Amino acid sequence: MDFLDPNKKRKHIRRIYLGYILIGIGILLSAFILVYISYGYKLDSQTGNIVKNGLIFINSAPESASIYLNGKENGNTEKRLTVPEGQYYIELRRKGYTTWKKTIKLAGSSIERLVYPVLFPEKLEPKAIKSYSANPQFSTQSLDRKWIIISTPGSITNFEIYDTSKPQDPAKTFSVPANIYSPAIKPVTSDIKLVEWSSDNKNFLVKHSYDGKYEYILINRETPSTSVNLNNFFGIAPKEIALRDKKADQFYILQTDLSLSSATSKSKTLTPVLANVSSFKSHQKEIIIYATNDPATPEVTTLMIRDNNKNYKIKDFAKSPLLLDIVQFDDHWYAAATSTKEGGLYIYQDPVQKIDRKLKNALIPYNILKITKPVKLNFSANARFVMAQNKKGVAVYDFEDEDRYNYDFTKELPAGQFATWMDGHRILTTIDKTSEVFEFDNQNKRILVPITTNSLPYFDRNYERLFTLAESTTTPKSVDLNKTILKIGLKD
């Protein structure tokens, strides 16, 4: 029998081991190939060469735009493209719309997400839905983009409210009590400016200026009779009031002696929080980023963060006003600050967490962008971008792709006018009474429609309709509220 023959037994064992070795080689080779495939490597069937691929995810609004890659059509949005690494000129085309364009450099095994393109109609046709005898002093839109509120000309107590989800419906009206505002000796000086909206989309905080003084009013659009003069309610004349965690019944109050307190509408008691605060922004309920001037070092302005009742020192600046803010994006906290004197946008990633862990690099800036004489700092709607601006242009940082951009506006912005975020990726400016939109990297710039200089473009929830106040084209000195359809074929 074979198993009793030593020679045959040895040959059988050798065959078994050889099989194991071949199987092992096959497994290693398969794993090697799979690893390389996972890194984007692929055999080009046309050239026989091994190429390294990357992924491009492309989507658009409106949907089903034709994709052109280096001039060749490649299906419609929404689509995933697997292509060799290299430079690509991408166009998104759809009949009746301006072409969206962008050049990208795709690295092998990388992913490019172009899921934000918006195509605007080639021809924009504003249509008046309401005419005003004069330019309204005040207009604003709720955070959910559902409500547009416009003051009637010559009044800061009477308002019209439009529901953007029902554009065919006429405006409704509401009035706040006239005595909610302190009387102005010179009524011509009386004006209101938006401070911020509450997250309930019912209440909004305004700053009433009159006779060289000012006060803060919380207006409720649903029950205007419950609107309240916060100065009178708390018996104070503060430097600044802000909503805490965007709640309509919670506040941070900065007094003229630079003390910061918290308060609620349930009590008139102020709870001390900080001292020597020159400017601040809050996030959620317990986080405050603020600038402070210690009397012991009067030549210095210090950037601080307060989190859960603990104060953290971030950076010293030469004494000057600071523009600052803090936000959470992709599981990281980003603090941003710039000095109106020194310039430069300083960005810190997770500074509190790093200080708590006693990391050596805790106070090294995550990034620094060049900007001179900044006048405004804010984050995009999705918190992916931070923008610092001066009258000439902006500095933008992208937290997702870790890219930076510096560029000038088409034209210098007049004093008191600022670029604003349209959404998570686009920026709006008003140039020569015309609204202009462009992306975070200054690409796909588009002139929109006429607009008054003291108002902003307002959009509905799906960015399918644009509402603007603009000088009437038919009645001199009148101002129209115009509606512009941004999606061809959309019917109200």
319: nearest Cα among 304, 334, 298, 333: 298
The pLDDT of residue 72: 97
Contact call for residues 329 and 383 (beta carbons, < 8 A): yes
The residue-averaged pLDDT of 424-434 equals: 95
Per-residue CA distances from 264 to 287, 378, 427 (Å): 17, 26, 35
pLDDT over 70 (residue 3): no
Q: Are residues 180 and 115 in the same domain?
A: no
Looking only at the bridges linking them, the beta strands covering 420-421 and 426-431 are antiparallel
The pLDDT of residue 180: 97
The residue-averaged pLDDT of 146-164 equals: 97
Q: Are residues 180 and 253 in the same domain?
A: yes
Looking only at the bridges linking them, the beta strands covering 66-69 and 213-220 are unpaired
Band of residue 194 on the pLDDT scale cut at 50, 70, 90? very high
The residue-averaged pLDDT of 229-234 equals: 98
The number of folded domains in the chain is: 2
The residue-averaged pLDDT of 307-320 equals: 96
The pLDDT of residue 35: 59
Enumerate residues 6+ apart whose C-beta is below 8 A from 400: 329, 330, 384
Q: Are residues 39 and 113 in the same domain?
A: yes
- Tell whether 203 is covered by a domain: yes
pLDDT over 80 (residue 17): no
Q: Are residues 31 and 109 in the same domain?
A: yes
Condensed to tens digits (0 to 9), the pLDDT of residues 411-425 reads 999 888 999 999 999
Band of residue 187 on the pLDDT scale cut at 50, 70, 90? confident
The residue-averaged pLDDT of 279-289 equals: 96
Condensed to tens digits (0 to 9), the pLDDT of residues 458-476 reads 999 999 999 999 999 999 9
**What is the rounded CA–CA span in Å between residue 405 and residue 442?**
8
Condensed to tens digits (0 to 9), the pLDDT of residues 376-397 reads 999 999 999 999 999 999 999 9
**What is the rounded CA–CA span in Å between residue 426 and residue 116?**
9
The pLDDT of residue 19: 75
pLDDT over 90 (residue 42): no
Q: Is 77 left (phi over 0), alpha (psi -120 to 50) or beta?
A: beta
What average pLDDT does the structure give for the chain? Answer: 93
Q: Are residues 38 and 112 in the same domain?
A: yes
pLDDT over 80 (residue 365): yes
The pLDDT of residue 83: 94
Condensed to tens digits (0 to 9), the pLDDT of residues 446-459 reads 999 999 998 999 99
- Tell whether 419 is covered by a domain: no
pTM, 2 dp: 0.89
DSSP string of 18-47, one letter each residue: HHHHHHHHHHHHHHHHHHHHHTTEEE-TTT
The residue-averaged pLDDT of 313-325 equals: 96
pLDDT over 80 (residue 22): no
The pLDDT of residue 358: 87
CA 42 to chain centre: 38
Among 47-51, 79-83, 336-340, 361-365, which stretch is predicted with the lowest mean pLDDT? 47-51
The pLDDT of residue 380: 98
| Boundary-marking domain end, from 275, 297, 327 | 275
Condensed to tens digits (0 to 9), the pLDDT of residues 267-278 reads 999 999 999 999
Per-residue CA distances from 112 to 50, 56, 87, 330, 400 (Å): 21, 5, 12, 17, 11
Q: SS3 of 469, please? A: strand
- In the chain, the amino acid numbered 296 is A
| Boundary-marking domain end, from 74, 100, 119 | 119
The residue-averaged pLDDT of 261-269 equals: 95
The pLDDT of residue 454: 87
The pLDDT of residue 49: 58
The pLDDT of residue 41: 56
| Residue/partner pairs of 44-51 with CB below 8 Å, 24 or more apart | 44/84, 51/84, 51/85
User: Looking at the chain, how many residues does it have?
Assistant: 492
Share of the chain above pLDDT 70, in %: 94
Q: Are residues 113 and 185 in the same domain?
A: no
The pLDDT of residue 80: 96
**What is the rounded CA–CA span in Å between residue 53 and residue 75?**
19
Kindly state the DSSP code that residue 57 receives in the 8-state scheme.
E
**What is the rounded CA–CA span in Å between residue 105 and residue 117?**
17
- Tell whether 378 is covered by a domain: no
Contact call for residues 387 and 419 (beta carbons, < 8 A): yes
Residue recorded with tokens 């967490």: 353
DSSP string of 58-116, one letter each residue: E--BSS-PEEEETTEEEEESSEEEEEESEEEEEEEE-TTBPPEEEEEEEPTT-EEEE--
The pLDDT of residue 24: 77
Enumerate residues 6+ apart whose C-beta is below 8 A from 282: 242, 244, 245, 252, 288, 289
- Tell whether 420 is covered by a domain: no
- Tell whether 222 is covered by a domain: yes
The residue-averaged pLDDT of 244-260 equals: 98
Q: Which structure tokens are listed for 348?
A: 């810190």
Per the structure, the complete domain to which residue 263 belongs is given by 176-275
The residue-averaged pLDDT of 289-314 equals: 95
- In the chain, the amino acid numbered 4 is L
| Boundary-marking domain end, from 260, 275, 290 | 275
Q: SS3 of 337, please? A: strand
- In the chain, the amino acid numbered 226 is T
User: Looking only at Cα atoms, what is the longest distance across the chain?
Assistant: 121
The pLDDT of residue 12: 67
Contact call for residues 258 and 277 (beta carbons, < 8 A): yes
- Tell whether 454 is covered by a domain: no
DSSP count for the chain of H helices, then E strands: 3, 40
Share of the chain above pLDDT 90, in %: 83
pLDDT over 60 (residue 39): no
- Tell whether 221 is covered by a domain: yes
The pLDDT of residue 40: 54
Q: 173 burial class (0-12, 13-18, 19+ CB within 10 angstroms)?
A: exposed
Condensed to tens digits (0 to 9), the pLDDT of residues 72-128 reads 999 999 999 999 999 999 999 999 999 999 999 999 889 999 999 999 999 999 999
Residue recorded with tokens 């009035």: 175
The pLDDT of residue 44: 55
- Tell whether 241 is covered by a domain: yes
Map 383-443 to HEC letters. Answer: CCEEEEECCCEEEEEECCCCEEEEEECCCCCCCCCCCEECCCCEEEEEECCEEEEEECCCC
Band of residue 479 on the pLDDT scale cut at 50, 70, 90? very high
The pLDDT of residue 129: 96
The pLDDT of residue 48: 54
